[in-house]
Structure 1
Amino acid sequence: MTPFENFTFFFYLLIPLVPAALLGGMGVSAKARATWVFLSTLGMLLLIGRPLSVLFQIVAYLIFQWLIVRIYLSYRLRTLEKNRAEVFYLGIFLALLPLVAVKLNPSFIELGFWQTVIGFIGISYLTFRSVGIIIEIRDGLIKEVNIVDFISFLLFFPTLASGPIDRYRRFVGDLNKPLTRQEYGELAITGMDLIFRGFLYKFIIAYLINKYWLDPLNQSFGFLPTLNYMYAYGLYLFFDFAGYSAFAVGVSYLLGIKTPMNFDKPFISKNIKDFWNRWHISLSFWFRDYIYMRFVLDSAKKKRFSNRYTASYVGYFLLFGIMGVWHGTQPQYVLYGLYHAGLMIGFDLLDRKNKTRKFWGTGPIWDLMAVVVTFNFVMFGFLIFSGRLV
């Protein structure tokens, strides 16, 4: 059963959430709350991981990632400053291996052992969490990984299928943080508000857009139908995914975990950089922190490019190229990534030139124009992503 896809799932949600609310209302210890999060995660896994063969595959994947993290942590603590980069890269490679296998050969999802579990459980999001742990172990930010906390973090059921992507230290901090009755009450109210927002977005607005706007355009081609489809698809994509994310964050809050928000009014962005600070925030920040920034800093350290802007622009192609392939190896996803890399570079060039040549000014009219222009560039990107042009 896919989380948050139908109303039946929400009835099952009462099983972990009612006791969580009672525990929070009584102001129980952080340890008791963490134990319930762990037990709830295991219990919901039995529901999400049906049939039994799928559950076995999830467990196998979990053990595989745990061994990589545990072995690398032991190596890092034992060797301290003498650890070799090759071991780190080997750990990253092994952690990414199941994801890469599925992305490069989607038939694995349909065959024998892998069946549909890899796509179903959201292997991308689980892999990003595991890789994030390995990177922060290398940085010296994580010196201990408890297996119970690791399981709770990696398989945390509200975010299991499609994120948001949390960070281990932040998650464990919430897990072990004592909450008063008042603090939990405030979290619970916010969580319920997000869940109701999720129902509005996913089951009302997204449903209506899909049924009465998007579906009728699937068999209509030409310039105007495609233009119409562009806006319908972009808005449907937002409300469907933002609705799911609101469910995931809201349920997390009811369990006492402040999972980061994934969307922050992305369609009022004034430029493409602002958009990526508002759209799929946990994913874009993960790629920014662990790929883009590290590439740029490493390039500066090794003097890979004579011009610092060149490092940044190459970093954008690396960042969005990987992000595109992460969605899939089909041409539309690769083009989508390259398109956004081009937008980021183009905006940076114009923004720097604007400081001397003043292509645009300031004030509410300019801000409105910036929002409209950015919105249309973003929508065209979604049209590429949809595969309709390809």
Structure 2
Amino acid sequence: MKLTKIFFAVMVLLNIVLNGQTRNEKTVIDVSGFANSAHHWYDISADDNVIDPLENQQRYKPWQIKEIADNILLYQKENGGWPKNYDMLAILTDEQKDALLKSQNMTNTTFDNWTTHTQVEYLARAYEILKDERYKEACIKGIEFILKAQYPSGGWPQFYPDTSGYRKYITFNDGAMTGVMRVLYNIIKKEPRYSFVDKDLYDRSKKAFEKGLKCILDCQIKENGKLYAWGQQHDNVTLEPQHARSYELPSIANQESADLVLFLMDIDNPSPELINAIESAVSWFEESKIEGIRIEEKKIKPIKYKWSTISVDRFVVEDPAAPPIWPRYSELITHKPLFCNRDGKKVYSLAEVAHERRVGYTWYTYLPQRAIDKYPEWKKKWVKE
């Protein structure tokens, strides 16, 4: 009897391990990259979603790798990319799954909101653990989508193949460019999870990465011969900073620039041009930081807007003990902190932004501090005095 119980216990444990569902750290894949899109699915109304979340929609746990990977396959479009603003961890009903399957010929594929590159990376890790050929094939299809979407200039649009309006611009917002570049860098570094990549795909990925890196350097904003940082999006032909939504104006974008610098610091054996780009950007972060203020949030009576219901308000308050903070945008040439309303008119303080945009958008950031903190160690490793 005792041996029978032991046998069944072993079989249950083996079944869990083979399905990638242990709570062991080695069999959990990071799912934080899906959070942005999931937030939009649950919290912000969208008219073009194929499926909407149900009330109290249940979610898979991070160690349920097979179930999450199977979800990712459902969301992938025939062209190899993924749409944004869904939850990859949602436990879908049969009706929701059927709707996704029927929509796989849609071309609303994008890199926005941490999309496509995040799914590609997850599938590579899922294949490494579970060896399910479907995950490898879908991952390769996603890599091919990335390569096809790249501009001759080396950048990637926000959406592909739909490049209408500002969707065509090279996008540094929401990790679009850095996310794609990290996938390619992991391939050319021959990370074990990408061991299935053959020579042809490896060579094309390496070429795309090199073009992408040159594009990043070419996009860095220069004024009066001095390098600063990057815009949120850049023209796909001229590479100049561009606008996107009405309240996203051409500017120096500190949050996106910090994300870029953190990625660039991870590249081994940086060229003199890359070293100069990083040092110039870090110098700009030191120059543009604001001390003595913080953002305070307080609850208010809920206000329903078109896209969401907001129950807080935000204010800038003086605080001598506050850590350095950066405006999301700094105006070109003047370098003043820059804000904007949905009418496209620039303003110069958070208080002048209408409540819906004041709370519904990120106007300040602490991310450049991470780049500043990482800089000394990076400099010691790669910069010869």
User: So what's the TM-score if we normalise by structure 1?
Assistant: 0.25
Higher strand share: 2
**TM-score w.r.t. length of structure 2:** 0.26
Q: Which has the higher contact order (CA 8 A, sep 6+)?
A: 1
